[in-house]
Amino acid sequence: MELAHLTLHEARQGLARKEFSSFELTQSFLKRINKYNSDINSYLSVYSKEALKQAKEFDDADVIKTNPLAGLPLAIKDNILIEGGIVTAGSKILENYQASFTATAVKRLKECGAIILGKTNLDEFAMGSSTENSAFGVTKNPWDTKKVPGGTSGGSASAVTADLCLSAIGSDTGGSIRQPASFCGCVGYKPTYGIVSRYGLIAMASSFDQIGPLAKTVKDAALLIDCMAGHDTYDSTTTTKNLENFVDGIAKFKPSGMTIGMPKEYFSKDLDSQVAELIQDEVLALESQGIKVKEVSLPLTKYNLPVYYIIMPSEVSSNLGRYDGIRYGFSDRSGKTLESVYINTKSNGFGQEVKRRILIGTYSLSSGYYEAYYGRAQKARNLIKKEFEDVFKEVDLLITPTAPGPAFDIGAKTASSVDMYMQDIFTVSANVAGLPALSLPVGLVNGLPVGLQIIGPRFADLPVLGLANILEQQIAFSRLEYV
């Protein structure tokens, strides 16, 4: 089997048994990136020299490296800072911007010994659901290059699927890890809000954003979370709770006595019936294992997207204020006044979707509309959060679809923003309520992968990963062998 097709855990084992070197492993990815990246456009920048240098250091070390990710190559979404490296956020406004510090999540992955292969493509400032909003070209779905890989972590998802890395890191604000994972047939995990530090993640909507893994298996995703998770003094929204080890936890996890809820609002006419069938088949199989399943109702489900598309753009309009051409990034100083620097820089630097969301946020926060939009959405968000808390008194976890259907054609949904927003219909709730949620490939519809989503109450990351691990073995999805 080609080295690049190995999972993170298989590669780790292979290195430990000296079946191959980290140099050979890293080189196999760089060769594939060289061969395939111009077709798929997963990577925006590739760190060939640096990656091989680190791989060689691993191989030459006298001491046996016991770091959990030692010698293992990963890809990082290009809205996460690595000191000295260009970080674009998929935008012309940061096209040449070099990061002045490294994100805590990446710092921890490096401390675990990981090798960084490069930065992956994304929708501009993580706004979109298809990676079509990138200022640096669209990324293609490796299963069918006429289709989108999903977004905004489309670069990361396609890199994992096409074996251009062992695993990748992405970010999820409304589904940006899970939906591309669903479209590309890999595992995508958004942890409980507060588990992974956002320090060094280019902020989009600070009360929704979370960093998380995209991987070939659930166990791989759990390992990456173990390396990144935990309190960070640089991010005061990170949890002060002591976290368990997830890899160990999922090995011991027993679902007996669990009750799974299937919220009826997520199995509506908006869902492709073939996806519904695939999920229901797996749930039936779980039932035969002694896990209880019941239908539940979340009546506020229809308000998730409106709440999200009010609060998120409001936070965006505030967070993106910093790209004013004063301290860094693209700067248009052709005008005569300070204000013209702001206006020209933003108008010429930002793409269309970014401008749209800034305008929506500006509207929601403006005088006369603030209470009717932002204020109301804050109350609605609280009620949605409470609705989930109530349902989790009845059931332990929820199973839902990840996306309304399989990947769509490139260009199919760019005419209407609202059409694109509807792609997030099942993923956004986990961000609205700060809950852990994972997407797992459940099968193929018209030859394209689709995902099953598991949502848990806050800090139920272990049960979510644990159930996913069990389902993964039950589903036995065949990964793509991209050539």
Residues numbered 200 to 229 that lie near another protein (CB under 8 A) are 207-208
Scanning the structure block, which residue is given the tokens 């797992």? Answer: 440
Scanning the structure block, which residue is given the tokens 């706004």? Answer: 127
- Is 418 near another protein (CB under 8 A)? yes
CA 223/CA 111 separation, integer angstroms: 14
- Is 49 near another protein (CB under 8 A)? no
- Is 288 near another protein (CB under 8 A)? no
Spatial strand order in the sheet of 259-263: 43-46, 115-120, 73-77, 167-172, 210-215, 187-190, 437-445, 448-455, 397-401, 259-263, 292-296
CA 480/CA 483 separation, integer angstroms: 9
- Is 97 near another protein (CB under 8 A)? yes
Q: Which of 199, 373, 426, 477 binds another protein (CB under 8 A)?
A: 373
Closest separation between CB of residue 455 and another protein, Å? 15
Closest separation between CB of residue 311 and another protein, Å? 10
CA 343/CA 128 separation, integer angstroms: 23
The answer to whether residues 18 and 11 touch, using CB atoms and an 8 Å cutoff, is no
CA 386/CA 378 separation, integer angstroms: 13
Scanning 37-45, 94-102, 403-411, 462-470 for contacts with another protein by CB under 8 A, the matching segment is 94-102
- Is 473 near another protein (CB under 8 A)? no
The answer to whether residues 195 and 37 touch, using CB atoms and an 8 Å cutoff, is no
Kindly report the backbone phi and psi dihedral angles of residue 273, in degrees, each rounded to the nearest multiple of 5, phi listed first: -65, -30
Indicate the burial class of 87 (C-beta count within 10 angstroms; 0-12, 13-18, 19 or more): buried
By CB under 8 A, the residues from 182 to 201 that bind another protein are 193-194
Closest separation between CB of residue 435 and another protein, Å? 10
Residues that bind another protein (rule: CB under 8 A) add up to a total of: 73
Closest separation between CB of residue 328 and another protein, Å? 4
Closest separation between CB of residue 172 and another protein, Å? 13
Scanning 231-239, 276-284, 395-403, 474-482 for contacts with another protein by CB under 8 A, the matching segment is 231-239
Tell me: cis bond preceding 152? Omega within 30 of 0 counts: yes
DSSP calls for 432-466: HTT--EEEEEEEEETTEEEEEEEE-STT-HHHHHH
Q: Count CA within 13 A, CB hemisphere, residue 178.
A: 34
Nearest to 56 by CA among 68, 73, 75, 71: 71
The first and second tokens of residue 8, run together, are 């993170």
- Residue number with CB closer to another protein (272 or 332): 332
By CB under 8 A, the residues from 148 to 187 that bind another protein are none
Site string for another protein, 66-85 (x = CB under 8 A): -----------------xx-
Closest separation between CB of residue 457 and another protein, Å? 12
Nearest to 390 by CA among 291, 298, 258: 298
By CB under 8 A, the residues from 384 to 403 that bind another protein are 385
Scanning 251-259, 271-279, 299-307, 395-403 for contacts with another protein by CB under 8 A, the matching segment is 299-307
3-state SS of 92-133 is HHHCCCECCCCCHHHHHHHHCCCEEEEEECCCHHHCCCCCCC
- Residue number with CB closer to another protein (342 or 392): 342
Q: Which of 100, 242, 288, 473 binds another protein (CB under 8 A)?
A: 100
Q: Which of 363, 391, 414, 479 binds another protein (CB under 8 A)?
A: 363
Indicate the burial class of 250 (C-beta count within 10 angstroms; 0-12, 13-18, 19 or more): buried
- Residue number with CB closer to another protein (260 or 320): 320
The first and second tokens of residue 336, run together, are 């005569």
Closest separation between CB of residue 231 and another protein, Å? 8
- Is 310 near another protein (CB under 8 A)? yes
By CB under 8 A, the residues from 317 to 356 that bind another protein are 317, 324-329, 331, 333, 335-339, 341-344, 346-347, 350, 355-356
- Residue number with CB closer to another protein (331 or 423): 331
Q: What is the 8-class DSSP label of residue 372?
A: I
Scanning 259-267, 284-292, 304-312, 437-445 for contacts with another protein by CB under 8 A, the matching segment is 304-312
- Residue number with CB closer to another protein (91 or 161): 91
CA 332/CA 343 separation, integer angstroms: 9
Q: Which of 204, 360, 395, 471 binds another protein (CB under 8 A)?
A: 360
Dihedral (CA of 322, 326, 330, 333) sign: positive
Closest separation between CB of residue 321 and another protein, Å? 9
- Residue number with CB closer to another protein (2 or 389): 389
- Is 240 near another protein (CB under 8 A)? yes
By CB under 8 A, the residues from 120 to 139 that bind another protein are none
Q: What is the 8-class DSSP label of residue 212?
A: E
Q: Which of 20, 253, 303, 370 binds another protein (CB under 8 A)?
A: 303
Q: What is the 8-class DSSP label of residue 408?
A: P
The first and second tokens of residue 183, run together, are 């479209």
Closest separation between CB of residue 383 and another protein, Å? 5
By CB under 8 A, the residues from 449 to 468 that bind another protein are 458
